[in-house]
Amino acid sequence: MTENTPAIDLKIKDRYSLMDTARKRMQESDAGKSATTITYERLKKAILSLELLPGQSLAERSLETLLDSSRTPIRAALVKLETEGLVRKGDRSYSVAPIELDELEQAFAFRALLECSAVRAAAAVATPNDIARLRALAMESSASSPEVEIRAPKAEEFHLEFARIAGNVFTVRALEDIMRVVYRARWLDLKADKDDVGSREHNAIIDLIESGKADQAVAMMEKHVAHSRDRLLSAIKSQAQGFRMRGLKVVS
């Protein structure tokens, strides 16, 4: 027992160290923000990370404890998240919106059209500064950054960046709308991508644009979106039975 105690103590210390680090990061992130903004961001993260699962009822009293917040900012956050499609309002309360597989497949099909068009347009005008920004986002969204909550927003920014480089505000808006549909599920994709294939494909797209190979860059983006879709749907379907056993909703 005495031989094992130091190792156990070390693990406990490590766990508390990680908790303290996470708490400090959360406090730094919350600095200067309103109570409503803090509550909204915490609730959104809980939904995106599947801490709150599809179909789960969102009782205000339990959310007060989970989010360390009061009812007024919680209600404001729920209203905002309803407009983003992450929660749904019933007769008496809110619940986490179900994951709808058909909707996701349609969203990915539309996303592929938008992103391939954006890559082609970006390839024609990208500057060295644009390439450097893309590489930075690709690195920040890779598995070298271990926390999905950090990687996921950077991955979204990477994909939006091509439309921004191309300068088409309508494509940017359309992609932002699509990302809202697929974003919760992208956390599953990033967790499922154990070999960091997505990151390598990100960098391959950048290399092709930098080399002036627009057609190949478009083909790689099409392949990348398809791979992301396949990983994502596989991850969701593998967990769907467990969700349903707990009374939660994955809609085919």
CB 133 within 8 A of CB 208: no
Place of tokens 């961001």: 41
Residue 193 has phi, psi (to 5 degrees) of -85, 70
- pLDDT band for 235, please (50, 70, 90 cuts): confident
Least confident of 74-78, 137-141, 160-164: 137-141
5 or 116, greater pLDDT: 116
Has residue 70 got a pLDDT over 80? yes
pLDDT at 37 over 60: yes
Q: Is the pLDDT of residue 247 over 60?
A: no
Sketch out the chain's domains with CATH numbers: 5-98 (1.10.10.10), 100-251 (1.20.120.530)
> pLDDT class for 239, splitting at 50, 70, 90?
low
Query: Cβ distance 130 to 122 under 8 Å?
Result: yes
What pLDDT is recorded for position 190? Answer: 63
Residue 217 pLDDT exceeds 90: yes
Q: Write down the H helix ranges in the chain.
A: 5-30, 35-48, 60-67, 71-83, 101-125, 128-140, 148-166, 169-192, 197-210, 214-245
Task: Pick from 58-62, 102-106, 149-153 the range whose average pLDDT is largest.
Answer: 58-62
* pLDDT level of residue 191 (50, 70, 90 thresholds): low
pLDDT given at position 2: 43
With 0-12 CB in 10 A as exposed, 13-18 as middle and 19+ as buried, what is 251? Answer: middle
Spatial distance between the Cα atoms of 48 and 52, rounded to a whole number of angstroms: 8
182 compared with 29, residue with greater pLDDT: 182
pLDDT of residue 209: 96
pLDDT for the residue 32: 65
pTM: 0.69
Lowest mean pLDDT among 37-46, 84-93, 114-123: 84-93
pLDDT number for residue 182 = 78
Quick one: pLDDT at residue 243?
A: 57
CA angle 29, 32, 37 (to 5 degrees): 70
Which phi and psi angles does 89 have, rounded to 5°?
-100, 125
Q: What is the residue whose two structure tokens read 């693990």?
A: 11
